[in-house]
Structure 1
Amino acid sequence: MTRWLFLLIFLFTIATAIVYAYVGGFKEPVVTLTTTKAPVFLAGQSFYGSANDEKFGPLFRSVKEAKDQGKLRGELANIYYNDPEKARDTVRAFIGMVVADTVSQQLPAGYRYRAFAAGQRVVQARITASYLIAPNKLYPAITDAVKQQKLTPRHVYLERFPEQGESEVLAVVE
């Protein structure tokens, strides 16, 4: 009996490690210091309040539904105007999608455009991993790079989570 239990636990551990590797859990992000060359346009909705607010989660789902229904074309993205790791009680964010421009598609009701400006000095962290794993890899990598290079964070972050390719976070620094 003990041997079978040990074998079952061993097989479960191996399966978990394989799934974790498949979604990018063992990959390390690539971090660079750069300047944004062009503005990034987002279509979405603003949010200000508690991360536990019942309205916060549905914003993400409504953007995904707008994409799935063809109301918006682009890739899922967010702009945070405060440190999402430290601001446990209050989140200032713009939840939406990166779009090519501000004129080629009509926005769904309640949606607005927002731009992440060009010419900003940013720490860019990129990783090919699931959007469920990527933030937990990208934010610590940015924090480490900011400390190592003795930069001052401005606590403005652009998150991009495309369905295919690399997820990234851009953190504005001084």
Structure 2
Amino acid sequence: MNNKKFLGIILILILAAAGAYAYLGGFAKPEVSRVTTSEIFVAGKAYQGPVKSEAFGKLFQEAGKLVAEGAITGDPGNIFYNDPEKHKDSINAFVGVIISDPKTSLPAGYEVRSVPAGKKAVQGTIDAHSIISPSKVYDAIFKFAKDQHITLQDYFVERYPNSHRAEILVLEK
């Protein structure tokens, strides 16, 4: 193969990768602001253990399936009670669905937990695929907090209204 063909193939691959990244929202910028929380209800299941465990992943899949099938009305969402980077890749989480009515009928094994109203927090949102949105939003939230001299708790709430939108809330200390 000559150099021109090789370079042409490389250019096509780079353009395809850039197009896929753009489609996923990779060039989108998170919006970050300080907010006061409203009460948030999450129907789900608790999990403690390794972040990369199969059981942890299955909880996300289960919640997404319940929403897709209409068994629970709401958006996939989670509460994380610690930062796995600070705890040797171990997470303390509550994985499920953000619901509007805490008295809604729940599938077996699900319970409701709430995020209290009136708490100061930093919120980040982005219109990007859930594959890339969490890291982009968390990076923006932590940078915003550092720049504004805000101390954050290891208490994170994630909400995914659709596959191309993420809303993340981190409570302030």
TM-score range, shorter chain: over 0.9
Q: How many residues align?
A: 172
TM-score by length of 1: 0.93
Residues 51 and 88, structure 1, Cα contact 8 Å, conserved in 2? no
CA drift at 1:89: 2.9
Q: 1:17-74 deviations in whole A, cap 9, x for unaligned? A: 11111111011111101111x2011111011112133311111111112222221111
Residue equivalent to 2:144: 145
Are positions 1:55 and 2:47 aligned together? no
Check conservation: 2:157, 2:169, Cα contact below 8 A.
yes
Please give the root-mean-square deviation of Cα atoms over the aligned residues, in Å: 1.4
Which residue of the partner structure matches residue 41 of structure 1?
41
- Does the CA-based 8 Å contact 2:130-2:165 persist in structure 1? no
Q: Indicate the SS of the match to 1:31.
A: strand
- Greater shift, 128-137 or 54-63, is seen at 54-63
* Partner of residue 18, structure 1: 19
Give yes or no for contact 2:129–2:165 (8 Å, CA) kept in 1: no
List alignment gaps of at least 5 residues for structure 2. none
Q: CA deviation at 1:88?
A: 3.5
Q: Which moved more, 1:83-92 or 1:129-138?
A: 83-92
State yes or no: 1:100 paired with 2:73: no
Comparing 85-94 and 136-145, the one that deviates more: 85-94
Q: Secondary structure at the match of 1:124?
A: strand
Structure 2 length normalisation: TM-score? 0.93
Ranges in structure 1 where 5+ consecutive residues have no aligned partner: none
SS at match of 2:158: strand
Give the letter aligned to residue 97 of structure 1.
V
Q: What is the SS of the residue equivalent to 2:105? A: coil
Q: What is the rounded CA distance, in whole Å, between the counterparts of 1:165 and 1:3 in structure 2?
A: 38
Instruction: Map Cα deviations across residues 107-137 of structure 1 (whole Å, 9 max, x no partner).
Output: 1110000111111100111111001110110
**Aligned counterpart, 1:158:** 157
Identity within the alignment, %: 37
Q: Distance in 2 between matches of 1:45 and 1:96?
A: 6
Structure 1 residues 60 and 166: CA distance shift in structure 2, 3 A: closer
